[in-house]
A and B are shown apart, each in its own frame.
Chain A
Amino acid sequence: MIEFDGASVRTDDGRTLLHPLTLSLSERRISVIGANGSGKSTLLRLVNGLLVPSAGSVAVFGRDTRTEGHAVRRSVGFVFTDPLSQLVMPTGREDVELSLRSRKLTAADRRRQGEAVLRRFGVDHLADRSIYDLSGGERQILALAVVLAVEPRVLVADEPTTLLDLRNDARVRSLIGGLDQQVVFTTHNLDFALESDRTLVIDDGRIVFDGPPPEAVARYREIAAAGIGGT
């Protein structure tokens, strides 16, 4: 359960990135759609505690992101749009093992668990290849694997399919769809949004629609069309 209580985000120079927001997110799959710069990523970063609200609060399973940020980050995994921003080790095996370092494991156990995680996501054959030698899709699946290696209760994904071709887009969507975790994701792919249980539409830092995906997508199309007409 993720709860926003009057959470807003302002920059130091007074710009409002997210207007006060109060809502609870309990569905298994929640999508967030909106134009570039509308505040989607800001909203996601609040969930993981990467960003703390300027006013109000955000809590994940009752833990406040401002006062219990470490605990929140342990239970909320975050996947970036660009997997190269996510992967900090030279190879997938080393990155998965890096994730597992926060667990009480011996080196041998860490290696075994890392191997099991890579096998589970079907990327064990890429384990020792440089992350730079992998395709965009392989990297994104690896990025998901390193985040899910520590079994977070919530997965937050910021446009996880934006940089992918159609086949890899389908692979990542299918993988996310099959996860046990609650998933909150932003996307420009409206078909992906339609696969969720609930969709938030953000425009200029405000939630302008919150409800079933088909209606949300229709509302977003109206906003986009109005934007084109207005320019």
Chain B
Amino acid sequence: MRGFGSTLGLYQPGSGFLYRTPLSVKAIVSLACAVVVVTWRSPATSAVALVLSVGALLIGAHRTFVRVLRMLLPAAPVLVILALYQGLSQGWLQAFAVVGGITACLLAARAVTLTTPLQDLLDGAAQLARPFRVVGAHPERFALALSIMLRSIPYLAGLFVDVRDAARARGLDRNPRVAVTPLVVGAVAYAHRTGEALAARGLGDDAADDAADDAADDASDRSDPHAD
């Protein structure tokens, strides 16, 4: 498997005010970006949102413009298709409003995951799910599932490239079944291995989840979980 963990991965250590900003603030701003872009859809709104999200990554996370553009590479095919469709059917200004807005939201979300350690995201997700304990939900299990889902994206992207290369090496790259079948099998095998690894470590067990949930309760009572 290739090193997609580093190129598409989540948290990357660095400096800048975004690294010092509490997760709750970053999450609210990211959510607000999505609400504003969807509610007041216009080229001007998308332009402002784009400038703010790119600016936040450049200044707040000390990323270069090229690295910011690279963050969009995984979504680029979908964005291009959407832009073409919107441009041809609704006009290019409308295409900019839609695709620019989506791009701004993606970058705002990326700013959160890029500058927040995964364990802090887990803590945040668990805290968010805490009210659902009254109906028998396990916040810690919810957070674990979320983190495993996020972790799986770069893995599956890497698996896709490996499978495509293997098909190319055998001269079978024009056959979609040859590319898709091993990808599905690989994804299922990965899910199985991950489940087994979690079970072997006792993660996701009721008892472990209860302990972690209690720990989260205690921690939130005692201190700010984002404090170092």
Is A84 a contact of B207 with CB atoms below 8 Å?
no
In the complex the two chains form, is A106's CB within 8 Å of B140's CB? no
The answer to whether residues A132 and B120 also contact, given A70-B205, A104-B214, A106-B225 and a CB cut-off of 8 A, is: no
- List chain A residues, Cβ under 8 A from B207: 70-71, 74
Q: Which residues of A contact B5 (CB under 8 A)?
A: 90-91, 130-133
In the complex, the answer to whether B219 meets A106 with C-beta atoms within 8 Å is yes
* Proximity string of chain B (202-228) to chain A, C-beta cutoff 8 Å, 1 when within and 0 when not: 110111100110110011001101111
B11, B197, B212, B215: the one contacting A88 at CB < 8 Å is B197
Q: Is the CB of B9 within 8 A of A108?
A: no
| Residues B200 and A104 in contact, CB atoms below 8 Å apart | no
Q: Is the interface of B mostly helix, strand, loop or mixed?
A: helix
Contact between chains at B140 and A101 (CB < 8 Å):
yes
CA distance A166 to B53 in the complex (A): 49
Complex-state Cα separation, A159 to B225, whole angstroms: 38
CB-defined contacts of B202 to chain A, threshold 8 Å: 70, 73-74, 102
CA distance A182 to B159 in the complex (A): 37
Determine if B215 and A101 form an interchain contact, defined as CB atoms under 8 angstroms apart. Answer: yes
* Bound CA span A180–B142, Å: 35
Q: Does A223 contact B (CB under 8 A)?
A: no
Say yes or no: is B201 at the interface (Cβ < 8 Å to chain A).
Answer: yes
In the bound complex, CA of A48 to CA of B214 (Å)? 25
- Is A78 close to B, CB under 8 A? yes
Rounded to whole angstroms, the CA-CA distance of A196 and B109 in the bound complex is 51
**Within residues 37 to 62 of chain A, which ones have a CB less than 8 A from any CB in chain B?**
48, 50
B9 touches A70 (CB 8 A): no
Cβ of A97 under 8 Å from chain B: yes
- Decide yes or no whether A80 CB sits under 8 A from chain B: yes
In the complex, whether B182 has a CB less than 8 A from a CB of chain A is no
With the chains together, A28 CA to B84 CA distance in Å?
Answer: 66
Quote the shortest CB–CB distance from A57 to chain B (angstroms).
19
Interface members, chain A 106-138 (any B CB < 8 Å): 106-108, 110-111, 128-133
- A interface, CB within 8 angstroms of B: 48, 50, 69-71, 73-74, 77-78, 80, 84-91, 93-94, 97-99, 101-108, 110-111, 128-133, 146-147, 150
Offer 20 A-B interface pairs, CB within 8 angstroms, sorted by A: A48-B200, A50-B199, A69-B205, A73-B205, A74-B202, A88-B148, A90-B5, A90-B11, A90-B154, A91-B9, A94-B11, A94-B117, A94-B119, A98-B203, A102-B203, A108-B227, A110-B119, A111-B228, A130-B3, A131-B5
Which residues of B are in contact with A by a Cβ distance under 8 Å? 1-6, 9-11, 13, 117-120, 122-123, 140, 147-148, 151, 154, 158, 193-194, 196-203, 205-208, 211-212, 214-215, 218-219, 222-223, 225-228
